[in-house]
Amino acid sequence: MNRFNINAIAIAIGMAFSTVAMAQTMSKDEYKSAKDGIAAEYKSAKAACDSFSGNAKDICQADARGKEKVAKAELEEKYKPSVNARYKVGVARADADYAVAREKCDDLAGNVKDVCVKEAKAAAVAAKADAKAQMKIANANERAADTSAGARNKAREMRADARKDAASDKRGADYAVAKEKCDAFAGDAKTACLSEAKARFGN
């Protein structure tokens, strides 16, 4: 696989999509034009992947699809800004990164591949947990804008819960990675590895 070429195409795709979705405020016609532009850029990026073969082509196509989804989510957030729309951008980015990372794992084999897949999943879980926490915190901040002491206390609780939930999701994903790495061992060494993983990340 020619990683340099793949990275070059990925950068070009990213620049193209980010240019299309940069408008801050837009009319309905501008929104439609930007949406059409994203579709055209995706078609062009997908065609560029034809210069590759095998898994390199799969990686390129996953990258193109991911960039398209992120660009669409960013466009929606700019067209109709909201806490939920911002959250969807974070989810789209996490899914896009995971799709590319997952394809790259196909270049590996055995336990090394299994660990690669778990790590890719863990990164996606962490990114989504952060996006969800940010959404909850933003909602809590809106609630805190209320002048009542009760509303402010509730907002503090919401922020604390958001951070706790995110930490729990990340810990679970890290635990899955640690357990997968233990499969490279056998017997007492594997048992010790699993015990250490549970001690570090288990619930």
Distance CA 10, CA 5 (A): 9
CB < 8 Å & 24+ apart, contacts of 196-200? 200/174, 200/175
Mean pLDDT of 117-140: 91
Other beta carbons within 10 Å of 108:
13
Cβ(8)–Cβ(1) under 8 Å?
Answer: no
More confident residue, 131 or 7: 131
Distance CA 4, CA 39 (A): 25
Distance CA 60, CA 3 (A): 10
State pLDDT tens for residues 6-60: 454 455 445 444 444 444 578 899 999 999 999 999 999 999 999 999 999 999 9
State pLDDT tens for residues 157-188: 777 777 888 888 888 888 899 989 999 999 99
pTM: 0.69
Q: Domain ranges in the chain? A: 1-107, 109-203
